[in-house]
Chains A and B, each alone.
Chain A
Amino acid sequence: MKCYCVTWRNDDSYVGNDHWYPTEEERRAHAIQFVKAGSIQGYLAYHGDEIVGWCNATGNCLRGVNYLRAYWPIEESHENIRVKSIFCFMIAPNMQRQGIATQLTERICNDAAADGFEFVEAYAYKESGGSDHEFGGPLAMYEKCGFYQCGERDGRVVMRKALK
């Protein structure tokens, strides 16, 4: 099942259960609309002409963060504290574990700092295992990039990097 990463976006159409669409065709069509509108935000990694990775990183995405707050111990949002959230990685299977997520994360942090964000935040799992756990990115990668653990509940860990 292909997600087209439509859940993690920042727009007013994100209400109720409408963060998800039942068919791949709908998700693909909506994803293109959301990218063109700027509500899906993130970075693509190109190796030559080939895209080998994607990271969804969205600023002040209150709806997405509120959705995750049911599972991760995420601090309450404050109007005057800008947080860039890393929601999801997708790396081409034949290109995994070659540092692509690290390069994406470093770029996200550099741009977020330049854009005036206070924190970059990610929602990871304490133990890796199963493909579901891979999408949030590994703890060791975040720690290598200067993140610290700022909360844990039931094996789910909130990672943060202070930019100021």
Chain B
Amino acid sequence: MELEIRKLTPDLAEDYARFFDTTPIMSRETA
């Protein structure tokens, strides 16, 4: 699969939050 891997930088903070907003999953730290 053709992916672009981007290192997380401050300008990606909103992208980061939106990914979690829209991805239905539960973290292991809550288990």
Contacts and interface: CB of A to CB of B under 8 A. Distances in A.
Contact of B1 (A31, A44, A88, A98): A98
Interface stretch (A73-81, A128-136, A138-146): A128-136
A133 B7 CA distance: 24
Interface residues of A, number: 45
B28 A135 contact: yes
A40 B8 contact: yes
Contact of A3 (B2, B7, B29): B29
Contact of B26 (A3, A38, A53, A92): A3
Given A3-B27, A20-B29, A135-B27, A46 B4 contact: yes
A44 B6 contact: yes
Contact of A32 (B5, B17, B23): B17
A4 B8 CA distance: 14
Given A3-B30, A20-B29, A90-B25, A31 B5 contact: no
A110 B16 CA distance: 22
Interface string A90-124: 10110100111001100100010000000000000
B6 to A, nearest CB: 5
B10 to A, nearest CB: 4
B16 A31 contact: yes
A8 B17 CA distance: 15
A28 interface: yes
A43 B27 contact: no
A45 interface: yes
Interface of A: 1-5, 7-8, 19-20, 28, 31-32, 35-38, 40-47, 51-54, 88, 90, 92-93, 95, 98-100, 103-104, 107, 111, 131-133, 135-136
Interface of B: 1-8, 10, 12-21, 23-31
